[in-house]
Structure 1
Amino acid sequence: MISRSSFLLKTFYIRGYRFASQLTYERYGDPLEVIQLQNQSTENDTLKAKEVRVGIRAAPINPADINQIQGVYPVKPTLPAFGGNEGFGIVEEIGSNVTALSVGDHVIPAASGFGTWRTQAISNENSFYKIDKRIPMKYAATLQVNPCTAYRMLKDFVDLKEGDVVVQNGANSAVGRYVIQIGKILGFQTINVVRKRENIDELKQELESLGATKVYTEEEFLKNSRTIKSRLALNCVGGRNSLGIASTLQHDGIMVTYGGMSKQPVQGATVRGMKNQQKIKN
């Protein structure tokens, strides 16, 4: 499920010449102040031997994109830079020595910081991953970060077996929703913590329809946490919230921190003695 804004990009023509639109910034700061829309002619663009021209069809707007423009994100592209980290495009032209891609292939950027807020990009073929054409555009455009983060956290830190319990906060985030769905496919039980809100029953039903085993508000979780024994805890909130999910860990459990939405220090439990805590970059 997509929970982020996205926009479509189209190359346009003026008096027979092809132009590319791009959102660029030359300094870090408030996106409303530093982002500029530029229209650049592509009439005389010539591809090098290993380069490809990709028409970017869609790109999301993520909190990380805003943080990157502000200059507070770990990945800092060389300035001037294009906005956007994720996106989906179609190969329109290839250089003479390109071997991995063909015209018409569907692709996504191979690394963060590429800059997807533009209608087209020319870069080395290794800058892109080829993806299955059956993937719908909105999912292709948001494939690079959140689904991969969820999968790697479920697979890289603990050798989970079918029936094992995974507990997570921020469960209604994009990563949280993918954890639920991938966990369901792999046979894991997911205990999911969310903030209380007016439509809490509707949210619970939505997450349960994705495969969530249990969905608790923070208050409900505190009442039930002593009965939960997990092998993996996924933390994107920090503060006392991270202490709560950490307290469910078995003696060999691991808590993985991939975000800090509360902007409070991560707190770890001593009640059940976590073996380790690990942090990853989102």
Structure 2
Amino acid sequence: MSLYRRSFLAAALLGAARAHNIRRLSRCQALVYANHGDPSRVIQLKNVDLRPVGPKDVLVKILAAPINPSDINMIQGTYAILPELPAVGGNEGVAQVVEAGGRVASLQIGDWVIPRDAGSGTWRTAAVFDEDDVIAVPRDIPLLAAATLGVNPCTALRMLADFEHLQPGDSLIQNAANSGVGQAVIQIAAARGIDTINVLRDRPQFARLSDRLKALGASHVIKEDALRRPDLEELFKTCPKPKLALNAVGGKSATELLRHLQVGGTMVTYGGMSKQPVAVPTSALIFKDVKVRGFWVTRWKRQHSNGAVRATLAELCALLRQGKLSAPACAEVPLSDYRRALDAAAQPFAAAKQILIT
């Protein structure tokens, strides 16, 4: 189904909701877990009660919600923040306001909204949120881009902006370049004239994936083992050594990124896919004076005002409208078929982000 068709249907649903008084909705379907563990085992589709809509609340229909690694970690019980159990899965998504409390000032019926913070439980058909817990996004951006806007692109933009002053002609290096964050980094950097050196694990159809990343704006795509070969220096004859390294893997991969940083450069770690610690060579600290930092977009949002979060989202939406940013490759799955989506999200070398459609 095309995004234009889906937008039309969303508008039709809104009209139907008004006509049939959806504001009396008191229950929804949700993917609930009562215990931590393997998501495919502990997640269940249930009918759950919605709390009444208060004066500062909005009732929303969830339109689309992705399955992110942080969602899986939260269900497993290994994430930095854990909601009280039983809980509804999902930290991200886009919803449409179908009812607003009498004292709601910033939102109106029909608005698209995304959660401001993690732990909101977006894997459901409807929800009641406090007005301050959601942020409006424009309805003229693609639905899947809106559903995946609040985590990966925000992470990419803040890491590009907050750690090194990158100018056109500068370069950065990143591992896990095919991830949602990695794809956003490639596109935002390309829009700013920044070269990207993108590192991937070797895999079947590597060439096809490399071509796809280059179509997004990747300057260079290399395999992990190329980081350890002397001939990588040939690349730096046409591309400056990177000021910034973005690490989502850890272990040896992170150490290799550090080796190729400029003197005084920064490595930012935002993930740990290998589950191995980041080892920093003594020589990198002494002779190259590298800086080693961490980033978590949830903390950033909690430390900044709604205005700062809205400004970041506005910059991303402008790139979307200009065709300089797009949603990652996505597979749309009905909420009722959640087990298939969870299984696909757990596969190595996943080609697409799983999006639950309600």
TM-score, reference length from structure 1: 0.89
Instruction: Tell me how far apart the structure 2 counterparts of residues 24 and 198 of structure 1 sit (CA, whole Å).
Output: 35
Tell me the CA shift for residue 240 of structure 1.
1.3
When you count helix as a share of all residues, which structure comes out higher? Answer: 2
In the other structure, the counterpart of 2:29 is 21
Tell me the CA shift for residue 49 of structure 1.
0.8
Q: Which has the higher contact order (CA 8 A, sep 6+)?
A: 2
In the other structure, the counterpart of 2:90 is 84
1:127 to 114, 128, 133: 133
Correspondences of 1:1-282 after superposition (within 5 Å):
18=25, 19-40=27-48, 46-223=52-229, 224-226=231-233, 228=236, 229-269=241-281, 270-271=283-284, 273-281=288-296
Instruction: Tell me how far apart the structure 1 counterparts of residues 101 and 34 of structure 2 sit (CA, whole Å).
Output: 29
Q: 1:265 to 1:226 in 2, by over 3 A?
A: farther
Could you tell me the percent identity over the aligned residues? 45
Instruction: Tell me how far apart the structure 2 counterparts of residues 186 and 36 of structure 1 sit (CA, whole Å).
Output: 44
Instruction: Tell me how far apart the structure 1 counterparts of residues 263 and 177 of structure 2 sit (CA, whole Å).
Output: 24
When you count strand as a share of all residues, which structure comes out higher? Answer: 1
Tell me the CA shift for residue 32 of structure 1.
2.9
Q: Secondary structure at the match of 2:184?
A: helix
Tell me the CA shift for residue 281 of structure 1.
2.6
Tell me the CA shift for residue 41 of structure 1.
6.0
Asked if the contact 1:87–1:109 (Cα under 8 Å) also holds between the matched residues in 2, the reply is yes
Tell me the CA shift for residue 260 of structure 1.
1.2
Tell me the CA shift for residue 136 of structure 1.
1.2
261-270 vs 151-160, which moves further: 261-270
Q: Secondary structure at the match of 1:108?
A: strand
Tell me the CA shift for residue 267 of structure 1.
2.2
Tell me the CA shift for residue 38 of structure 1.
1.7
Tell me the CA shift for residue 114 of structure 1.
0.5
Instruction: Tell me how far apart the structure 2 counterparts of residues 35 and 193 of structure 1 sit (CA, whole Å).
Output: 34
Which residues of structure 1 form unaligned runs of 5+? 1-8
Instruction: Tell me how far apart the structure 2 counterparts of residues 219 and 275 of structure 1 sit (CA, whole Å).
Output: 22
Instruction: Tell me how far apart the structure 2 counterparts of residues 166 and 258 of structure 1 sit (CA, whole Å).
Output: 15
Instruction: Tell me how far apart the structure 2 counterparts of residues 41 and 86 of structure 1 sit (CA, whole Å).
Output: 20
Q: Secondary structure at the match of 1:123?
A: strand
TM-score, reference length from structure 2: 0.71
The alignment of Structure 1 onto Structure 2 pairs a total of residues equal to 269
Tell me the CA shift for residue 226 of structure 1.
3.8
Instruction: Tell me how far apart the structure 2 counterparts of residues 179 and 33 of structure 1 sit (CA, whole Å).
Output: 34
Instruction: Tell me how far apart the structure 1 counterparts of residues 95 and 271 of structure 2 sit (CA, whole Å).
Output: 28
Structure 2 letter corresponding to 1:236:
A
Which residues of structure 2 form unaligned runs of 5+? 1-9, 298-358
